[in-house]
Structure 1
Amino acid sequence: MVNNSQTIKKSGVNYFMQGFQLIKQPGLRSFVFIPLMINLVLFAGTIYFAVGKLTELFTWINGQVPDYLGWLNFLLWPLALLTILVVMSFIFSSVMNWIAAPFNGLLAEKVEQHLTGKSLNTGNSVDMVKDLPRIFGREWIKLKYYLPRALLFLVLFWLPIIGQTAAPILWFLFTAWMMAIQYCDYPFDNHKVPFDDMKFALKNTKGSSFSFGATVTVFSMIPIVNFIVMPVAICGATAMWVDKYREAYKNNVIAPD
Protein backbone atom coordinates (compact mmCIF):
# COMPACT_ATOMS: atom_id res chain seq x y z
CA MET A 1 0.00 0.00 0.00
CA VAL A 2 1.17 3.52 -0.75
CA ASN A 3 2.56 5.42 2.19
CA ASN A 4 -0.05 8.13 2.72
CA SER A 5 2.33 10.31 4.72
CA GLN A 6 4.28 10.78 1.49
CA THR A 7 1.43 11.18 -0.95
CA ILE A 8 -1.41 13.04 0.76
CA LYS A 9 0.67 16.16 1.31
CA LYS A 10 1.02 16.57 -2.46
CA SER A 11 -2.04 18.21 -3.99
CA GLY A 12 -3.43 17.86 -7.49
CA VAL A 13 -2.05 21.33 -8.25
CA ASN A 14 1.45 20.09 -7.41
CA TYR A 15 1.06 17.12 -9.72
CA PHE A 16 -0.08 19.33 -12.60
CA MET A 17 2.86 21.67 -12.09
CA GLN A 18 5.16 18.64 -11.98
CA GLY A 19 3.93 17.92 -15.49
CA PHE A 20 5.70 21.06 -16.74
CA GLN A 21 8.98 19.61 -15.48
CA LEU A 22 8.34 16.15 -16.90
CA ILE A 23 7.64 17.29 -20.47
CA LYS A 24 11.15 18.77 -20.57
CA GLN A 25 12.88 15.51 -19.71
CA PRO A 26 15.13 14.31 -22.58
CA GLY A 27 13.62 10.82 -22.63
CA LEU A 28 10.06 12.13 -22.80
CA ARG A 29 10.27 15.10 -25.16
CA SER A 30 9.89 13.01 -28.32
CA PHE A 31 6.67 11.46 -26.99
CA VAL A 32 5.34 14.94 -26.13
CA PHE A 33 6.24 16.28 -29.58
CA ILE A 34 3.90 14.12 -31.70
CA PRO A 35 0.54 14.93 -30.00
CA LEU A 36 1.67 18.53 -29.57
CA MET A 37 2.40 18.95 -33.28
CA ILE A 38 -0.90 17.29 -34.24
CA ASN A 39 -2.63 19.76 -31.93
CA LEU A 40 -0.78 22.78 -33.36
CA VAL A 41 -1.32 21.85 -37.02
CA LEU A 42 -5.04 21.14 -36.64
CA PHE A 43 -5.62 24.16 -34.45
CA ALA A 44 -3.71 26.48 -36.80
CA GLY A 45 -5.59 25.12 -39.83
CA THR A 46 -8.95 25.59 -38.15
CA ILE A 47 -8.10 29.11 -36.98
CA TYR A 48 -6.97 30.00 -40.51
CA PHE A 49 -10.29 28.77 -41.90
CA ALA A 50 -12.29 30.56 -39.18
CA VAL A 51 -10.47 33.86 -39.69
CA GLY A 52 -11.14 33.62 -43.44
CA LYS A 53 -14.86 33.19 -42.81
CA LEU A 54 -14.74 36.00 -40.24
CA THR A 55 -13.16 38.29 -42.85
CA GLU A 56 -16.01 37.52 -45.24
CA LEU A 57 -18.53 38.24 -42.47
CA PHE A 58 -16.98 41.61 -41.62
CA THR A 59 -16.78 42.53 -45.29
CA TRP A 60 -20.52 41.89 -45.55
CA ILE A 61 -21.20 43.86 -42.34
CA ASN A 62 -19.16 46.82 -43.59
CA GLY A 63 -21.31 46.89 -46.69
CA GLN A 64 -24.46 47.14 -44.56
CA VAL A 65 -23.49 49.84 -42.05
CA PRO A 66 -22.83 53.56 -42.63
CA ASP A 67 -19.23 54.74 -43.05
CA TYR A 68 -19.28 56.64 -39.76
CA LEU A 69 -19.66 53.30 -37.93
CA GLY A 70 -16.50 51.90 -39.48
CA TRP A 71 -14.71 52.30 -36.14
CA LEU A 72 -16.70 49.31 -34.88
CA ASN A 73 -14.22 47.06 -36.70
CA PHE A 74 -11.51 48.01 -34.21
CA LEU A 75 -13.79 46.90 -31.38
CA LEU A 76 -15.44 43.83 -32.90
CA TRP A 77 -12.40 42.19 -34.51
CA PRO A 78 -10.46 41.62 -31.25
CA LEU A 79 -13.63 40.39 -29.52
CA ALA A 80 -14.40 38.01 -32.39
CA LEU A 81 -10.84 36.63 -32.46
CA LEU A 82 -10.79 36.14 -28.70
CA THR A 83 -14.14 34.34 -28.88
CA ILE A 84 -12.85 32.04 -31.62
CA LEU A 85 -9.71 31.23 -29.62
CA VAL A 86 -11.64 30.39 -26.46
CA VAL A 87 -14.37 28.36 -28.23
CA MET A 88 -11.88 26.47 -30.38
CA SER A 89 -9.76 25.73 -27.32
CA PHE A 90 -12.65 23.90 -25.64
CA ILE A 91 -13.63 22.07 -28.84
CA PHE A 92 -10.10 20.96 -29.52
CA SER A 93 -9.57 19.73 -25.97
CA SER A 94 -12.26 17.13 -26.77
CA VAL A 95 -11.38 16.41 -30.41
CA MET A 96 -7.66 16.12 -29.72
CA ASN A 97 -8.22 13.63 -26.91
CA TRP A 98 -9.73 11.31 -29.52
CA ILE A 99 -7.13 11.88 -32.23
CA ALA A 100 -4.17 11.73 -29.88
CA ALA A 101 -5.50 8.98 -27.58
CA PRO A 102 -2.92 6.34 -28.66
CA PHE A 103 -0.07 8.82 -28.29
CA ASN A 104 -1.41 10.00 -24.93
CA GLY A 105 -1.42 6.46 -23.61
CA LEU A 106 2.12 5.97 -24.89
CA LEU A 107 3.24 9.20 -23.21
CA ALA A 108 1.68 8.09 -19.92
CA GLU A 109 3.50 4.76 -20.27
CA LYS A 110 6.87 6.43 -20.83
CA VAL A 111 6.33 8.88 -17.96
CA GLU A 112 5.55 5.99 -15.62
CA GLN A 113 8.66 4.18 -16.81
CA HIS A 114 10.69 7.35 -16.23
CA LEU A 115 9.34 7.76 -12.69
CA THR A 116 9.55 4.12 -11.62
CA GLY A 117 12.42 2.79 -13.69
CA LYS A 118 10.21 -0.16 -14.68
CA SER A 119 8.84 -0.95 -18.14
CA LEU A 120 5.15 -1.72 -18.62
CA ASN A 121 5.96 -4.24 -21.39
CA THR A 122 2.94 -3.21 -23.46
CA GLY A 123 4.49 -4.45 -26.70
CA ASN A 124 5.71 -2.80 -29.91
CA SER A 125 4.06 -0.45 -32.40
CA VAL A 126 2.23 -3.36 -34.07
CA ASP A 127 0.66 -4.28 -30.72
CA MET A 128 -0.38 -0.64 -30.25
CA VAL A 129 -2.14 -0.65 -33.64
CA LYS A 130 -3.96 -3.85 -32.68
CA ASP A 131 -5.01 -2.19 -29.44
CA LEU A 132 -6.54 0.87 -31.15
CA PRO A 133 -10.16 -0.41 -31.05
CA ARG A 134 -9.91 -0.87 -27.29
CA ILE A 135 -8.25 2.56 -26.86
CA PHE A 136 -10.95 4.37 -28.84
CA GLY A 137 -13.58 2.29 -27.08
CA ARG A 138 -12.31 3.69 -23.78
CA GLU A 139 -12.64 7.24 -25.17
CA TRP A 140 -16.21 6.40 -26.19
CA ILE A 141 -16.98 5.26 -22.62
CA LYS A 142 -15.73 8.61 -21.30
CA LEU A 143 -17.81 10.47 -23.87
CA LYS A 144 -20.95 8.53 -22.92
CA TYR A 145 -20.30 9.37 -19.29
CA TYR A 146 -19.75 13.06 -20.10
CA LEU A 147 -22.53 14.00 -22.55
CA PRO A 148 -25.75 13.34 -20.54
CA ARG A 149 -24.27 14.98 -17.44
CA ALA A 150 -23.04 17.97 -19.44
CA LEU A 151 -26.49 18.46 -20.97
CA LEU A 152 -28.08 18.29 -17.53
CA PHE A 153 -25.72 20.92 -16.15
CA LEU A 154 -26.28 23.16 -19.18
CA VAL A 155 -30.05 23.04 -18.56
CA LEU A 156 -29.38 24.57 -15.15
CA PHE A 157 -28.16 27.76 -16.86
CA TRP A 158 -31.71 28.36 -18.11
CA LEU A 159 -33.32 28.09 -14.69
CA PRO A 160 -34.16 31.38 -12.92
CA ILE A 161 -31.80 32.32 -10.08
CA ILE A 162 -29.91 28.99 -10.26
CA GLY A 163 -28.71 29.80 -13.78
CA GLN A 164 -27.13 33.03 -12.63
CA THR A 165 -25.74 31.82 -9.30
CA ALA A 166 -25.11 28.13 -8.72
CA ALA A 167 -24.94 26.89 -12.34
CA PRO A 168 -21.55 28.46 -13.22
CA ILE A 169 -19.99 27.05 -10.05
CA LEU A 170 -21.48 23.60 -10.62
CA TRP A 171 -20.34 23.66 -14.24
CA PHE A 172 -16.77 24.49 -13.20
CA LEU A 173 -16.74 21.67 -10.63
CA PHE A 174 -18.14 19.23 -13.18
CA THR A 175 -15.54 20.29 -15.75
CA ALA A 176 -12.78 19.87 -13.16
CA TRP A 177 -14.03 16.37 -12.38
CA MET A 178 -14.11 15.47 -16.08
CA MET A 179 -10.59 16.81 -16.58
CA ALA A 180 -9.39 14.56 -13.77
CA ILE A 181 -11.17 11.59 -15.36
CA GLN A 182 -9.92 12.38 -18.85
CA TYR A 183 -6.23 12.61 -18.03
CA CYS A 184 -5.93 10.24 -15.08
CA ASP A 185 -7.58 7.57 -17.19
CA TYR A 186 -4.52 7.16 -19.43
CA PRO A 187 -2.22 5.60 -16.80
CA PHE A 188 -5.15 3.63 -15.34
CA ASP A 189 -6.04 2.30 -18.78
CA ASN A 190 -2.43 1.32 -19.46
CA HIS A 191 -2.85 -1.13 -16.59
CA LYS A 192 -6.27 -2.25 -17.90
CA VAL A 193 -8.03 -0.87 -14.82
CA PRO A 194 -11.81 -0.77 -15.61
CA PHE A 195 -13.40 2.65 -16.04
CA ASP A 196 -15.68 2.27 -13.02
CA ASP A 197 -12.74 1.25 -10.83
CA MET A 198 -10.82 4.30 -12.01
CA LYS A 199 -13.75 6.56 -11.07
CA PHE A 200 -13.95 4.93 -7.63
CA ALA A 201 -10.25 5.58 -7.06
CA LEU A 202 -10.59 9.26 -8.03
CA LYS A 203 -13.70 9.68 -5.87
CA ASN A 204 -11.83 8.17 -2.94
CA THR A 205 -9.17 10.85 -3.34
CA LYS A 206 -11.50 13.76 -4.08
CA GLY A 207 -9.14 16.46 -2.83
CA SER A 208 -6.34 15.53 -5.20
CA SER A 209 -8.70 14.74 -8.07
CA PHE A 210 -10.62 18.01 -7.96
CA SER A 211 -7.59 20.22 -7.36
CA PHE A 212 -5.83 18.54 -10.30
CA GLY A 213 -8.89 18.84 -12.56
CA ALA A 214 -9.54 22.45 -11.53
CA THR A 215 -5.95 23.40 -12.37
CA VAL A 216 -6.21 21.73 -15.79
CA THR A 217 -9.50 23.56 -16.39
CA VAL A 218 -8.04 26.97 -15.55
CA PHE A 219 -5.00 26.48 -17.78
CA SER A 220 -7.23 25.18 -20.60
CA MET A 221 -9.04 28.53 -20.59
CA ILE A 222 -5.85 30.43 -21.45
CA PRO A 223 -5.40 30.81 -25.23
CA ILE A 224 -2.00 29.67 -26.58
CA VAL A 225 -1.05 28.20 -23.19
CA ASN A 226 -3.68 25.52 -23.69
CA PHE A 227 -1.58 24.11 -26.54
CA ILE A 228 0.64 22.35 -24.01
CA VAL A 229 -2.01 21.58 -21.38
CA MET A 230 -2.69 18.09 -22.75
CA PRO A 231 0.86 16.66 -22.44
CA VAL A 232 1.43 18.50 -19.16
CA ALA A 233 -1.80 17.08 -17.71
CA ILE A 234 -0.94 13.55 -18.87
CA CYS A 235 2.49 13.76 -17.25
CA GLY A 236 1.02 15.17 -14.04
CA ALA A 237 -1.77 12.60 -13.93
CA THR A 238 0.73 9.79 -14.43
CA ALA A 239 2.86 11.12 -11.59
CA MET A 240 -0.27 11.07 -9.41
CA TRP A 241 -0.99 7.48 -10.50
CA VAL A 242 2.53 6.42 -9.50
CA ASP A 243 2.30 8.09 -6.08
CA LYS A 244 -1.28 7.39 -5.08
CA TYR A 245 -2.66 4.43 -6.98
CA ARG A 246 -0.02 2.19 -8.53
CA GLU A 247 1.09 0.29 -5.45
CA ALA A 248 -2.36 0.60 -3.88
CA TYR A 249 -3.86 -1.35 -6.78
CA LYS A 250 -1.32 -4.09 -6.30
CA ASN A 251 -2.62 -4.44 -2.75
CA ASN A 252 -6.28 -3.82 -3.68
CA VAL A 253 -6.39 -0.82 -1.31
CA ILE A 254 -7.07 2.79 -2.30
CA ALA A 255 -6.48 5.06 0.67
CA PRO A 256 -8.64 8.21 0.82
CA ASP A 257 -7.14 11.70 1.00
Structure 2
Amino acid sequence: MSDLGAGLRYLGRGQRWAFGHGRWYGFGLLPALVAFVLYAAALTALAYGADDIAAWATPFADDWSDFWRDALRVTFAALLWAAGLALAVLTFTAVTLLVGDPFYEKLSEEVEKSEGGCPPGSDAPWWRQLWRSLLDSLYVLGRALLFTVPLFVLGFVPVLGQTVVPVLGFCVSGYFLAAELTSVAMQRREIPVRERLALLRARRSLVLGFGVPLVLCFLVPFVAVLLMPGAVAGAALLVRDVADGHRDAPAAVPPPAQQASPAHPAPPHLPGPPRR
Protein backbone atom coordinates (compact mmCIF):
# COMPACT_ATOMS: atom_id res chain seq x y z
CA MET A 1 0.00 0.00 0.00
CA SER A 2 2.88 2.36 0.72
CA ASP A 3 4.16 1.94 -2.84
CA LEU A 4 0.69 2.65 -4.24
CA GLY A 5 0.62 5.90 -2.28
CA ALA A 6 4.16 6.75 -3.40
CA GLY A 7 3.15 6.30 -7.04
CA LEU A 8 0.21 8.64 -6.57
CA ARG A 9 2.52 11.19 -4.90
CA TYR A 10 4.85 11.10 -7.91
CA LEU A 11 1.88 11.86 -10.12
CA GLY A 12 0.90 14.78 -7.90
CA ARG A 13 4.47 16.10 -7.75
CA GLY A 14 4.71 16.00 -11.53
CA GLN A 15 1.49 17.96 -11.93
CA ARG A 16 2.63 20.54 -9.39
CA TRP A 17 5.96 20.91 -11.20
CA ALA A 18 4.26 21.39 -14.58
CA PHE A 19 1.68 23.89 -13.34
CA GLY A 20 4.41 25.73 -11.46
CA HIS A 21 6.50 26.15 -14.64
CA GLY A 22 4.05 27.78 -17.02
CA ARG A 23 6.43 27.98 -19.98
CA TRP A 24 7.18 24.26 -19.89
CA TYR A 25 3.54 23.41 -19.25
CA GLY A 26 2.49 25.21 -22.43
CA PHE A 27 5.43 23.60 -24.23
CA GLY A 28 4.08 20.14 -23.34
CA LEU A 29 0.46 20.88 -24.27
CA LEU A 30 1.01 21.22 -28.03
CA PRO A 31 1.77 17.56 -28.97
CA ALA A 32 -0.97 16.29 -26.66
CA LEU A 33 -3.51 18.61 -28.28
CA VAL A 34 -2.66 17.36 -31.78
CA ALA A 35 -2.92 13.71 -30.69
CA PHE A 36 -6.20 14.39 -28.85
CA VAL A 37 -7.88 15.76 -31.98
CA LEU A 38 -6.82 12.69 -33.98
CA TYR A 39 -8.03 10.22 -31.33
CA ALA A 40 -11.32 12.06 -30.77
CA ALA A 41 -12.08 11.79 -34.49
CA ALA A 42 -11.21 8.08 -34.55
CA LEU A 43 -13.33 7.22 -31.49
CA THR A 44 -16.28 9.22 -32.85
CA ALA A 45 -16.09 7.30 -36.12
CA LEU A 46 -15.93 4.01 -34.18
CA ALA A 47 -19.01 4.97 -32.14
CA TYR A 48 -21.02 5.67 -35.31
CA GLY A 49 -19.89 2.47 -37.01
CA ALA A 50 -19.99 0.08 -34.01
CA ASP A 51 -23.54 -1.15 -34.76
CA ASP A 52 -22.67 -2.02 -38.36
CA ILE A 53 -19.48 -3.79 -37.25
CA ALA A 54 -21.44 -5.75 -34.64
CA ALA A 55 -23.99 -6.88 -37.27
CA TRP A 56 -21.17 -7.88 -39.65
CA ALA A 57 -19.34 -9.84 -36.92
CA THR A 58 -22.40 -11.77 -35.71
CA PRO A 59 -24.19 -13.13 -38.83
CA PHE A 60 -25.11 -16.28 -36.89
CA ALA A 61 -27.56 -14.18 -34.83
CA ASP A 62 -29.67 -13.14 -37.83
CA ASP A 63 -32.22 -15.89 -37.15
CA TRP A 64 -32.43 -15.27 -33.39
CA SER A 65 -35.37 -13.53 -31.76
CA ASP A 66 -35.20 -9.74 -31.83
CA PHE A 67 -34.48 -9.48 -28.11
CA TRP A 68 -31.48 -11.85 -28.01
CA ARG A 69 -30.06 -10.65 -31.34
CA ASP A 70 -30.22 -7.01 -30.27
CA ALA A 71 -28.86 -7.80 -26.80
CA LEU A 72 -25.87 -9.60 -28.30
CA ARG A 73 -25.10 -6.89 -30.84
CA VAL A 74 -25.51 -4.02 -28.38
CA THR A 75 -23.15 -5.81 -25.99
CA PHE A 76 -20.68 -6.44 -28.81
CA ALA A 77 -20.84 -2.81 -29.95
CA ALA A 78 -20.36 -1.51 -26.38
CA LEU A 79 -17.39 -3.82 -25.78
CA LEU A 80 -15.91 -2.90 -29.15
CA TRP A 81 -16.05 0.80 -28.34
CA ALA A 82 -14.71 0.12 -24.82
CA ALA A 83 -11.83 -1.84 -26.35
CA GLY A 84 -11.19 1.03 -28.74
CA LEU A 85 -11.16 3.44 -25.81
CA ALA A 86 -8.76 1.19 -23.88
CA LEU A 87 -6.51 0.95 -26.93
CA ALA A 88 -6.68 4.72 -27.30
CA VAL A 89 -5.60 5.16 -23.67
CA LEU A 90 -2.76 2.70 -24.17
CA THR A 91 -1.52 4.26 -27.41
CA PHE A 92 -2.34 7.93 -26.79
CA THR A 93 0.79 8.41 -24.71
CA ALA A 94 2.99 6.58 -27.20
CA VAL A 95 1.68 8.58 -30.14
CA THR A 96 1.89 11.85 -28.20
CA LEU A 97 5.46 11.09 -27.14
CA LEU A 98 6.41 10.30 -30.75
CA VAL A 99 4.75 13.47 -32.06
CA GLY A 100 6.31 15.59 -29.36
CA ASP A 101 9.57 13.75 -28.77
CA PRO A 102 11.77 16.90 -28.73
CA PHE A 103 9.22 18.72 -26.54
CA TYR A 104 8.97 16.02 -23.86
CA GLU A 105 12.68 15.25 -23.92
CA LYS A 106 13.43 18.88 -23.02
CA LEU A 107 10.65 18.99 -20.43
CA SER A 108 11.92 15.78 -18.78
CA GLU A 109 15.48 17.16 -18.75
CA GLU A 110 14.34 20.33 -17.02
CA VAL A 111 12.54 18.31 -14.36
CA GLU A 112 15.67 16.30 -13.63
CA LYS A 113 17.90 19.37 -13.59
CA SER A 114 15.59 20.95 -11.04
CA GLU A 115 16.02 17.84 -8.89
CA GLY A 116 19.81 18.08 -8.86
CA GLY A 117 21.31 16.57 -12.01
CA CYS A 118 20.37 15.02 -15.34
CA PRO A 119 22.05 12.15 -17.24
CA PRO A 120 23.71 13.38 -20.45
CA GLY A 121 21.65 11.18 -22.77
CA SER A 122 22.53 9.68 -26.13
CA ASP A 123 24.57 11.38 -28.87
CA ALA A 124 22.65 9.53 -31.62
CA PRO A 125 20.92 11.62 -34.34
CA TRP A 126 17.32 12.62 -33.59
CA TRP A 127 15.89 10.42 -36.35
CA ARG A 128 17.63 7.36 -34.92
CA GLN A 129 16.30 8.12 -31.45
CA LEU A 130 12.82 8.59 -32.91
CA TRP A 131 13.04 5.23 -34.70
CA ARG A 132 14.18 3.59 -31.49
CA SER A 133 11.25 5.17 -29.62
CA LEU A 134 8.84 3.82 -32.23
CA LEU A 135 10.22 0.28 -31.97
CA ASP A 136 10.15 0.41 -28.17
CA SER A 137 6.55 1.66 -28.20
CA LEU A 138 5.50 -1.15 -30.53
CA TYR A 139 7.17 -3.66 -28.22
CA VAL A 140 5.34 -2.27 -25.18
CA LEU A 141 2.05 -2.19 -27.11
CA GLY A 142 2.53 -5.83 -28.11
CA ARG A 143 3.04 -6.80 -24.48
CA ALA A 144 -0.05 -4.82 -23.50
CA LEU A 145 -2.19 -6.56 -26.13
CA LEU A 146 -1.25 -9.94 -24.63
CA PHE A 147 -3.40 -8.87 -21.66
CA THR A 148 -5.94 -6.62 -23.37
CA VAL A 149 -7.20 -9.13 -25.96
CA PRO A 150 -7.99 -11.91 -23.41
CA LEU A 151 -9.69 -9.34 -21.18
CA PHE A 152 -11.84 -8.25 -24.13
CA VAL A 153 -12.97 -11.86 -24.64
CA LEU A 154 -13.62 -12.33 -20.90
CA GLY A 155 -15.81 -9.23 -21.03
CA PHE A 156 -18.55 -11.42 -22.57
CA VAL A 157 -18.68 -13.65 -19.47
CA PRO A 158 -21.69 -12.72 -17.31
CA VAL A 159 -20.90 -11.05 -13.95
CA LEU A 160 -17.15 -11.56 -14.38
CA GLY A 161 -17.14 -9.31 -17.45
CA GLN A 162 -18.92 -6.51 -15.58
CA THR A 163 -16.94 -6.65 -12.32
CA VAL A 164 -13.47 -8.19 -12.31
CA VAL A 165 -12.54 -7.59 -15.95
CA PRO A 166 -12.92 -3.77 -15.88
CA VAL A 167 -10.73 -3.57 -12.75
CA LEU A 168 -8.05 -5.72 -14.36
CA GLY A 169 -8.35 -3.65 -17.53
CA PHE A 170 -7.65 -0.42 -15.64
CA CYS A 171 -4.64 -2.02 -13.96
CA VAL A 172 -3.21 -3.23 -17.27
CA SER A 173 -3.82 0.13 -18.93
CA GLY A 174 -2.27 2.00 -16.00
CA TYR A 175 0.79 -0.20 -15.90
CA PHE A 176 1.62 0.13 -19.58
CA LEU A 177 0.70 3.81 -19.62
CA ALA A 178 3.36 4.32 -16.95
CA ALA A 179 5.77 2.23 -19.03
CA GLU A 180 5.29 4.60 -21.98
CA LEU A 181 5.63 7.75 -19.88
CA THR A 182 8.82 6.58 -18.18
CA SER A 183 10.38 5.71 -21.55
CA VAL A 184 11.60 9.31 -22.03
CA ALA A 185 13.77 9.32 -18.91
CA MET A 186 14.69 5.63 -19.33
CA GLN A 187 15.98 6.18 -22.87
CA ARG A 188 18.11 9.05 -21.66
CA ARG A 189 19.78 6.52 -19.35
CA GLU A 190 20.30 4.10 -22.28
CA ILE A 191 18.18 1.42 -20.58
CA PRO A 192 16.87 -1.16 -23.10
CA VAL A 193 13.12 -1.64 -23.25
CA ARG A 194 13.20 -5.17 -21.77
CA GLU A 195 15.23 -3.98 -18.80
CA ARG A 196 12.83 -1.06 -18.36
CA LEU A 197 9.87 -3.41 -18.08
CA ALA A 198 11.81 -5.59 -15.63
CA LEU A 199 12.56 -2.55 -13.44
CA LEU A 200 8.91 -1.51 -13.47
CA ARG A 201 7.77 -5.07 -12.76
CA ALA A 202 9.98 -5.13 -9.65
CA ARG A 203 8.08 -2.04 -8.38
CA ARG A 204 4.65 -3.02 -9.65
CA SER A 205 2.65 -1.37 -6.85
CA LEU A 206 4.51 1.91 -7.30
CA VAL A 207 3.86 1.85 -11.05
CA LEU A 208 0.16 1.04 -10.59
CA GLY A 209 -0.19 3.83 -8.05
CA PHE A 210 1.15 6.21 -10.68
CA GLY A 211 -0.57 4.83 -13.79
CA VAL A 212 -4.07 3.74 -12.74
CA PRO A 213 -5.25 7.16 -11.42
CA LEU A 214 -3.86 8.70 -14.60
CA VAL A 215 -5.88 6.26 -16.74
CA LEU A 216 -9.04 7.15 -14.85
CA CYS A 217 -8.35 10.84 -15.44
CA PHE A 218 -7.61 10.22 -19.12
CA LEU A 219 -11.14 8.82 -19.55
CA VAL A 220 -12.53 12.35 -19.12
CA PRO A 221 -12.45 14.16 -22.48
CA PHE A 222 -9.61 16.64 -22.91
CA VAL A 223 -8.20 15.92 -19.41
CA ALA A 224 -5.44 13.82 -21.01
CA VAL A 225 -4.20 16.92 -22.81
CA LEU A 226 -4.16 19.04 -19.66
CA LEU A 227 -2.39 16.39 -17.57
CA MET A 228 0.14 15.20 -20.15
CA PRO A 229 2.97 17.67 -19.28
CA GLY A 230 2.65 16.85 -15.59
CA ALA A 231 2.49 13.13 -16.35
CA VAL A 232 5.84 13.34 -18.17
CA ALA A 233 7.29 15.35 -15.29
CA GLY A 234 6.02 12.84 -12.72
CA ALA A 235 7.40 9.94 -14.75
CA ALA A 236 10.84 11.57 -14.76
CA LEU A 237 10.70 11.81 -10.95
CA LEU A 238 9.57 8.19 -10.70
CA VAL A 239 12.47 7.01 -12.89
CA ARG A 240 14.94 8.71 -10.56
CA ASP A 241 13.61 6.40 -7.85
CA VAL A 242 13.13 3.18 -9.82
CA ALA A 243 16.07 3.19 -12.25
CA ASP A 244 18.73 5.22 -10.44
CA GLY A 245 18.06 3.56 -7.10
CA HIS A 246 18.35 0.12 -8.72
CA ARG A 247 21.55 0.85 -10.62
CA ASP A 248 23.22 2.57 -7.68
CA ALA A 249 22.58 -0.35 -5.34
CA PRO A 250 25.83 -2.06 -4.32
CA ALA A 251 26.38 -5.47 -5.78
CA ALA A 252 26.65 -8.41 -3.42
CA VAL A 253 30.28 -9.04 -2.50
CA PRO A 254 31.19 -12.71 -2.59
CA PRO A 255 32.98 -14.01 0.49
CA PRO A 256 36.76 -14.42 0.21
CA ALA A 257 37.90 -17.76 -1.04
CA GLN A 258 39.76 -18.46 2.19
CA GLN A 259 36.78 -17.62 4.44
CA ALA A 260 35.39 -20.61 6.23
CA SER A 261 31.75 -21.59 5.95
CA PRO A 262 29.71 -24.40 7.58
CA ALA A 263 29.47 -26.25 4.28
CA HIS A 264 33.19 -25.84 3.46
CA PRO A 265 35.19 -25.70 6.70
CA ALA A 266 38.67 -24.28 6.46
CA PRO A 267 41.45 -26.84 6.31
CA PRO A 268 43.34 -27.31 9.57
CA HIS A 269 46.49 -25.25 9.96
CA LEU A 270 49.52 -27.45 9.63
CA PRO A 271 52.83 -26.26 10.97
CA GLY A 272 55.58 -25.80 8.42
CA PRO A 273 59.06 -27.33 8.65
CA PRO A 274 61.16 -25.90 11.45
CA ARG A 275 63.44 -23.05 10.54
CA ARG A 276 67.15 -23.53 10.88
Q: What TM-score, normalized by structure 1, do the two folds share?
A: 0.68
User: Structure 1 250/146 Cα, relative in aligned 2: closer, same or farther at 3 Å?
Assistant: same
Gaps of 5+ in 1: 1-6, 55-82
Equivalent in the alignment of 2:15 = 20
Contact 1:113-1:120 within 8 A present in 2 as well: no
Percent of pairs with identical residues: 20
The count of residues paired between Structure 1 and Structure 2 equals: 215
Larger Rg: 1 or 2?
2
Distance in structure 1 (CA, Å) of the matches to 2:179 and 2:131: 20
Deviation at 1:89, TM superposition (A): 6.9
**Equivalent AA in structure 2 for residue 121 of structure 1:** P
Contact 2:144-2:176 within 8 A present in 1 as well: yes
Contact 2:35-2:95 within 8 A present in 1 as well: no
Distance in structure 2 (CA, Å) of the matches to 1:8 and 1:177: 14
Contact 2:4-2:209 within 8 A present in 1 as well: no
Contact 1:111-1:238 within 8 A present in 2 as well: yes
Equivalent in the alignment of 1:219 = 217
The one-character-per-residue Cα deviations of 1:128-175 (angstroms, maximum 9, x if unpaired) are: 334222122211211221223211111110123321222111111111
State which of 23, 30, 50 in structure 2 corresponds to 1:29. Answer: 23
State which of 151, 166, 169 in structure 1 corresponds to 2:167. Answer: 169
Equivalent in the alignment of 2:71 = none
Q: What TM-score, normalized by structure 2, do the two folds share?
A: 0.64
Distance in structure 1 (CA, Å) of the matches to 2:216 and 2:169: 13
Moved more, 104-113 or 214-223: 104-113
Equivalent in the alignment of 2:119 = 120
Equivalent in the alignment of 2:202 = 204
Deviation at 1:188, TM superposition (A): 1.5
State which of 43, 63, 70 in structure 1 corresponds to 2:36. Answer: 43
The one-character-per-residue Cα deviations of 1:54-73 (angstroms, maximum 9, x if unpaired) are: 9xxxxxxxxxxxxxxxxxxx
Contact 1:89-1:223 within 8 A present in 2 as well: no
Distance in structure 2 (CA, Å) of the matches to 1:48 and 1:203: 34
Distance in structure 1 (CA, Å) of the matches to 2:126 and 2:26: 18
Q: Within 5 Å, which residues of 2 pair with 1:222-241?
A: 222-241=220-239
User: Structure 1 89/227 Cα, relative in aligned 2: closer, same or farther at 3 Å?
Assistant: farther
Distance in structure 1 (CA, Å) of the matches to 2:113 and 2:97: 22
RMSD: 3.6
Distance in structure 2 (CA, Å) of the matches to 1:141 and 1:46: 21
Name the structure, 1 or 2, with higher relative contact order (CA <8 Å, separation 6+): 1
